Amino acid sequence: MLEKFFSPKSIAVIGASRKPGKVGYAILQNLKNSFSGEIYPVNPNATEILGLKVYPCVRDIEEKVDLAIIAVKAEIVPEILESCGKKGIKNVIIISSGFKEVGNIEGEEKIKKIAKKYKIRILGPNCIGIYDSYSGVDTLFADPKRVKKPAKGHVGFISQSGALGLALLDRYAEMGLGISKFVSMGNKADVNEIDFLKLFGKDPSIRVISMYIESVSNGKEFMKVSREVAKTKPIVALKAGRTEKGKRAVASHTGAMAGSYEVYEAAFKQSGIIEANDLEELMDFTKALAAQPAMKGNKIAIVTNGGGFGIIACDQAEAEGLELAELSKDTLKKIKEILPAHAVAGNPADLTGDADSERYKQVLDAVFKDPAVQGVCVICLMQLAPLDERIVEVLEECKMYAKPFTLCIGGSAYSIEIAKRLQRNGIPVYPTPHRAVKALRVLYEYGNILKRVKRKSKT
Amino acid sequence: MLEKFFSPKSIAVIGASRKPGKVGYAILQNLKNSFSGEIYPVNPNATEILGLKVYPCVRDIEEKVDLAIIAVKAEIVPEILESCGKKGIKNVIIISSGFKEVGNIEGEEKIKKIAKKYKIRILGPNCIGIYDSYSGVDTLFADPKRVKKPAKGHVGFISQSGALGLALLDRYAEMGLGISKFVSMGNKADVNEIDFLKLFGKDPSIRVISMYIESVSNGKEFMKVSREVAKTKPIVALKAGRTEKGKRAVASHTGAMAGSYEVYEAAFKQSGIIEANDLEELMDFTKALAAQPAMKGNKIAIVTNGGGFGIIACDQAEAEGLELAELSKDTLKKIKEILPAHAVAGNPADLTGDADSERYKQVLDAVFKDPAVQGVCVICLMQLAPLDERIVEVLEECKMYAKPFTLCIGGSAYSIEIAKRLQRNGIPVYPTPHRAVKALRVLYEYGNILKRVKRKSKT
């Protein structure tokens, strides 16, 4: 019943606090704002918090409780977990830290034992829990002045690190990328990435699964499940702790064994997981895969109003194993008719600095319709005057061609605003041609993975 | 007299226009706002523009003219240039396009000939000219609603492409990086990157030279000059048109021959030029070198309040050929005393999620003072509550240790604001640990270049 972590009807917050700034206060406040089910604060020293009736113990709640969130000192977590078991709660998120990650193996074993006894599924300990933009479950105890939370979207985001997850959610929200479900796994005393891969794999609101992992709990099972999930949706993963020093840092972070990076690399490849080499790639690839179809071949077109940016995109395409599509004579003729005399019709199509959105619209139409083109990188230097915000509409209309495309837009306020509008409408925007082209490569990579996993499942 | 391009006492704007939206209007308006010397608009069909007296021909101006800016149709540029020659103007910026880049070789040869006859130095044609934050010379005809211009700073930026230059200036301004001088070279009919390397090399306001180039005019001379300049200030260059398709795109962009990339790569190495592989690296490296001293060795420390970010920084350090410094027993003891019981003292120093700026201050003091540490990567997840804006002051104080350091801060409004404040105060900030560590590597690379070029000049 892992679904209950994300879609409970009622939640008990154990360690609910009256003091703003405390974790147990922030969680309660968040839930009150976003969760429409029943909320039961638990604290033996309070009777009412934020207008909600407080219970001295979870067992004093008469109604059924689907999910408990524990935010108390590590020492009393076992005792609290016992009372959850007795109350019949089957899903528990343990926010509290002070277990395996600081060498308290005994404490962690104790809670595992209690969970087994009562058939409780535990998320954590040492985690920040869950954020679900649809159900409103939100245990992220962050100051809303500092952390923006993403709108509804199609990303399932699994993170072994809580702080890293929070920092990435804040960035996703800022760039306009929506999220469906986020889960921070912490020490993974019980549920782990394999459970969430399975769950997210079946979740119709999730189109791409994005992972930050330091260690994997069961390699073989992880690969098997990934291979299955990759048939229907892309998985992107960043594995941290690749190097000796990195591995040592992992051990003191989540108490995990990072393992050999080469093994991970090979396993990712075999299981159809797209590897990200850093946080930027993780976010960039996730963005592309959340919004765009897989690319069927490696032939792309580049459309730009800045020659230099176009050249850089060309160079990068070759570096990424993509090829510039040979446009048909018919397409070239059409482009020539659209462009002014001083522009050269070709691929990249350099619409030159005086291009407006109408010129983009016409050239994009010709380029997208060319059967040789399998994906498009569109570069818009919004710094160049005749191009204006009408480009947003033009680019949104490009979705109808059902071919993958990525955008390069960047700069100050004017450019940022246009980039955000496009991103909110499901078009992946990158600040440089380099990253926009790399994102196309990833869409091509997922196209190849699809072919491979489907072939394998037939034989 | 290349200085006159940047510090003229008087400027004639030939092709000055009364119509907002026209290049000849925008340039005049910009200059009126920023340039304190004499401005002479030239246009046979107007008598007054923006309150300035207009001259029918440049020869009608009685006073001495140091610099002429030509923004008229290509066809009449030779005739205009002749009149500039007769007037005795020695520095001319030709904004007009329609020359070599569209196959009009003849037109370009014609202007070269006239320039030779009158000993005129020409910048352009097909360029957007110059931006000098100190003298106020500004020929960038961009809509101020779209393009922010950088504040005074220490970067000399040479770009073969105008649009690309504009787009990058807009980004620099947005991130808070100041610029001293920017020049767009266009077709390089006369002055080229070698001239500006020499000029910027001697300019005390410039600490780093940043270049976007598609071709180099004279390889041997370029290398010789670069090697000389690199002794006193770092040069970063992005060479576009590396691949076959990229080279073809270069030909139709600035009419230049891109040449073999391998040759460039080797030449950069031999001349002490730091190569950027994409626009992001060009900006990232420029930022670091503009503000930070060279790194004397490859031993770094990582200080973070997010374990995951610290691990990624570790991994990246190894990938970049940097090593984690072995902190002294004394330093480790100090850190242990500062950190709470649940944190592990080491390198990376994970101050944990409850770190405030005081904890950063104390640990940074210990780390910077350790002789084993030659550079520091500081990661601040501003999403984590006890850390607040007081960190700005703490980080600014770190300048006193005279050791290079880079920062990783990123997220939504709160984080962005803090990042900008730091960047404006000369501390290079990056959104990911990956890029912050890479920037440290570049500071180390420049340290090595300094050793090499100084050794060579002794023998």
B330-382 per-position pLDDT tens digit? 999 999 999 998 788 899 999 999 999 999 999 999 999 999 999 999 999 99
The separation between CA A43 and the C-alpha centre of its own chain, rounded to angstroms, equals 34
Which residues in chain B touch residue A98, judged by CB atoms under 8 angstroms apart? 342
Is the preceding omega at residue A386 within 30 degrees of 0, hence cis?
A: no
Q: Are the CB atoms for B126 and B179 separated by under 8 Å?
A: no
ipTM: 0.94
Per-residue pLDDT at B83: 98
Per-residue pLDDT at B254: 65
| Span of B101-105, B136-140, B149-153 with lowest mean pLDDT | B101-105
The answer, yes or no, to whether residue A47 has pLDDT greater than 80, is yes
Contact criterion met (CB < 8 Å) for B163 and A305: yes
Same domain as A101, residue A36: yes
Same domain as B312, residue B166: no
In a domain, B370, yes or no: yes
B20, closest residue in chain A (CA to CA): A385
Neighbouring C-beta atoms of residue B110, cutoff 10 Å: 15
Contact criterion met (CB < 8 Å) for B308 and A434: no
Phi, psi angles (nearest 5°) of residue A444: -70, -40
Q: Between B212, B240, B383, which is nearest A146 by CB?
A: B383
The answer, yes or no, to whether residue A229 has pLDDT greater than 90, is yes
CATH number for the domain that contains residue A48: 3.40.50.720
The 10s digit of each residue's pLDDT in A318-375 is: 999 999 999 999 999 999 999 998 788 899 999 999 999 999 999 999 999 999 999 9
* Alpha-carbon distance A237 to nearest alpha carbon in chain B (angstroms): 13
Same domain as B149, residue B276: yes
Selection from B242, B233, B238, B321 nearest residue B272 by Cα: B233
With the C-alpha atoms ordered B98, B256, A315, B279, is the resulting torsion angle positive or negative?
Answer: negative
A343, closest residue in chain B (CA to CA): B102
Contact criterion met (CB < 8 Å) for B163 and A384: yes
In a domain, A174, yes or no: yes
Same domain as A249, residue A372: no
Contact criterion met (CB < 8 Å) for B279 and A433: yes
Q: Are the CB atoms for B418 and B391 separated by under 8 Å?
A: yes
B439: left (phi over 0), alpha (psi -120 to 50) or beta: alpha
Which residues in chain A touch residue B412, judged by CB atoms under 8 angstroms apart? 146-148, 170-171, 173-174
**Where a domain ends, among B266, B291, B316?**
B291
Phi, psi angles (nearest 5°) of residue A260: -75, 130
The 10s digit of each residue's pLDDT in A152-168 is: 999 999 999 999 999 99
**Residue range of the domain that includes B202:** 142-291
Q: At B246, is the pLDDT very low, low, confident or very high (cuts 50, 70, 90)?
A: confident
Per-residue pLDDT at B55: 98
The answer, yes or no, to whether residue B174 has pLDDT greater than 90, is yes
B168, closest residue in chain A (CA to CA): A411
Same domain as B312, residue B260: no
For residues A304 and A310, give the distance between their C-alpha atoms in angstroms, rounded to a whole number.
6
* Alpha-carbon distance A244 to nearest alpha carbon in chain B (angstroms): 8
Per-residue pLDDT at A458: 60
* Alpha-carbon distance A63 to nearest alpha carbon in chain B (angstroms): 34
The answer, yes or no, to whether residue A256 has pLDDT greater than 70, is no
Total domain count, chain B: 3
B261, closest residue in chain A (CA to CA): A315
> Can you list the positions of beta strands (E) in B281-420?
299-304, 323-324, 349-350, 375-379, 405-408
Q: Could you tell me which residue, A386 or B309, shows the higher pLDDT?
A: B309
The answer, yes or no, to whether residue A396 has pLDDT greater than 60, is yes
Q: Between B97, B167, B344, which is nearest A383 by CB?
A: B167
Same domain as B318, residue B246: no
Mutate to test the interface with A, among B312, B356, B432 (most CBs of A within 10 A): B312
Q: Between A173, A324, A348, which is nearest B412 by CB?
A: A173
Selection from B215, B251, B256, B99 nearest residue A350 by Cα: B251
Tell whether pTM > 0.90: yes
Would you call B28 helix, strand, or coil by DSSP? helix
For residues A351 and A345, give the distance between their C-alpha atoms in angstroms, rounded to a whole number.
8
In a domain, A134, yes or no: no
How confident is the model over A14-43, as a mean pLDDT? 94
* Alpha-carbon distance A55 to nearest alpha carbon in chain B (angstroms): 28
Please count the residue pairs, one from chain A and one from chain B, whose beta carbons lie less than 8 angstroms apart.
Answer: 249
Per-residue pLDDT at B293: 96
For residues A356 and A386, give the distance between their C-alpha atoms in angstroms, rounded to a whole number.
5
Contact criterion met (CB < 8 Å) for B164 and A309: yes
Q: Are the CB atoms for B131 and B169 separated by under 8 Å?
A: yes
* Alpha-carbon distance B201 to nearest alpha carbon in chain A (angstroms): 25
Give the number of residues written for chain B: 459
Contact criterion met (CB < 8 Å) for A311 and B385: no
For residues B212 and A161, give the distance between their C-alpha atoms in angstroms, rounded to a whole number.
39
Give the 3-state DSSP-derived string for B382-405, with helices as H, strands as E and coil as C. Answer: CCCCCCCCCHHHHHHHHHHHCCCE
The residue type found at A448 is N
Give the 3-state DSSP-derived string for A380-443, with helices as H, strands as E and coil as C. Answer: CCCCCCCCCCCHHHHHHHHHHHCCCEEEECCCCHHHHHHHHHHHHCCCCEECCHHHHHHHHHHH
The residue type found at B305 is N
Same domain as A386, residue A368: yes
How confident is the model over B49-73, as a mean pLDDT? 97
For residues B122 and B190, give the distance between their C-alpha atoms in angstroms, rounded to a whole number.
5
Which residues in chain B touch residue A23, judged by CB atoms under 8 angstroms apart? none
Which residues in chain A touch residue B411, judged by CB atoms under 8 angstroms apart? 146-148, 167, 170-171, 174
Same domain as A273, residue A324: no
For residues B173 and B150, give the distance between their C-alpha atoms in angstroms, rounded to a whole number.
4
How confident is the model over B107-127, as a mean pLDDT? 97
In a domain, B88, yes or no: yes
Contact criterion met (CB < 8 Å) for A307 and B253: yes
Give the 3-state DSSP-derived string for B84-117, with helices as H, strands as E and coil as C. Answer: HHHHCCCEEEECCCCCHHHCCHHHHHHHHHHHHH
Geometric angle at alpha carbon B387, from A281 and B427, rounded to 5°: 65
Q: Between A167, A246, A249, which is nearest B411 by CB?
A: A167
Task: List the helix and strand counts (H, then E) for chain B.
Answer: 16, 19
For residues B235 and B233, give the distance between their C-alpha atoms in angstroms, rounded to a whole number.
7
Which residues in chain A touch residue B250, judged by CB atoms under 8 angstroms apart? 311
Burial class (CB in 10 A: 0-12, 13-18, 19+), B202: exposed
CATH number for the domain that contains residue B287: 3.40.50.261
Selection from B407, B421, B308, B315 nearest residue B364 by Cα: B407
Same domain as B281, residue B364: no
Contact criterion met (CB < 8 Å) for A143 and B385: yes
In a domain, A458, yes or no: no
Which residues in chain B touch residue A244, judged by CB atoms under 8 angstroms apart? 318
Rounded percentage of chain B residues whose pLDDT exceeds 90: 87
Q: Are the CB atoms for A191 and A2 separated by under 8 Å?
A: yes
* Alpha-carbon distance B63 to nearest alpha carbon in chain A (angstroms): 34
Same domain as A162, residue A119: no
A149, closest residue in chain B (CA to CA): B412
Which residues in chain A touch residue B174, judged by CB atoms under 8 angstroms apart? 411-413, 416
* Alpha-carbon distance A235 to nearest alpha carbon in chain B (angstroms): 20
Mutate to test the interface with B, among A75, A284, A311, A350 (most CBs of B within 10 A): A311
Mutate to test the interface with B, among A383, A391, A408, A441 (most CBs of B within 10 A): A383
Geometric angle at alpha carbon A380, from A377 and A381, rounded to 5°: 140
In a domain, B133, yes or no: no
How confident is the model over A48-74, as a mean pLDDT? 97
B387, closest residue in chain A (CA to CA): A146
The 10s digit of each residue's pLDDT in A178-206 is: 999 999 999 999 999 999 999 999 999 99
**Where a domain ends, among A126, A157, A188?**
A126
In a domain, A454, yes or no: no
Helix (H) or strand (E) holding B430: strand B429-430
Which residues in chain B touch residue A145, judged by CB atoms under 8 angstroms apart? 414
* Alpha-carbon distance B64 to nearest alpha carbon in chain A (angstroms): 34
Q: At A453, is the pLDDT very low, low, confident or very high (cuts 50, 70, 90)?
A: confident
Same domain as B15, residue B117: yes
Would you call B156 helix, strand, or coil by DSSP? strand
Per-residue pLDDT at B440: 98
In a domain, A136, yes or no: no
Q: At B160, is the pLDDT very low, low, confident or very high (cuts 50, 70, 90)?
A: very high
Q: At B256, is the pLDDT very low, low, confident or very high (cuts 50, 70, 90)?
A: low
How confident is the model over B66-74, as a mean pLDDT? 97
A5: left (phi over 0), alpha (psi -120 to 50) or beta: alpha
Would you call A209 helix, strand, or coil by DSSP? strand
Same domain as B253, residue B279: yes
**Where a domain ends, among B126, B150, B181?**
B126
